[in-house]
Amino acid sequence: HLQQARIPSGSLEKVSVPDSGPEMAESQVAVAPVVTSKLSVKAPEFYPSGYNHNFADSSFEDEYDGYLTLAEYVQDFLNHLAEQPGCFETEIEQFAETVNGWVTVDETLQELVELIYQQATSVPNFSYMGARLCNYLSHHLTISSQSGSFRQLLLQ
């Protein structure tokens, strides 16, 4: 058992501690050896249950050339974003490039706006992702339509 010793307040003495200034502190810093780990971010433990490894590895943007219509491509991408919102940053640029190549007339621009609006208003929890997508596309779509820009059509 530890017992606490009581020291009368009048008998306290100063204890001298060796100076540990900056030059002393520098020499005491130990450099930790570099540890190489065998852990991988692709380890199965790091994926949520039900995660489709093949879909992520094949990369969504490489698959667009198999689609027959803009609607199929956009709907598949919107579903992909709804399931995996974390991929927005990595895949939005390629999506915008593809859509820029596809949307060349007023009708396809109107169709794109309607598809995104429909998804953002009907799918639970997609409104924020839809807003991010609309914001990105309003700045990155190059088509200048007679009926208005992406943003103007969306606001209508």
Write out pLDDT tens, residues 7-20.
555 555 555 555 55
pLDDT band at 92 (very low <50, low <70, confident <90, very high): very high
Residue 114, pLDDT score: 93
pLDDT of residue 89: 93
Residues 6+ apart with CB under 8 A from 99: 70, 74, 112, 137, 141
Residue 16: exposed, middle, or buried by beta-carbon count in 10 A (0-12, 13-18, 19+)?
A: exposed
Higher pLDDT, 28 or 84: 84
18-27, 56-65, 80-89: segment of lowest average pLDDT: 56-65
pTM greater than 0.85: no
Q: What is the chain's alpha carbon radius of gyration, rounded to the nearest angstrom?
A: 30
Asked if 146 contacts 134 with a C-beta cutoff of 8 angstroms, the reply is no
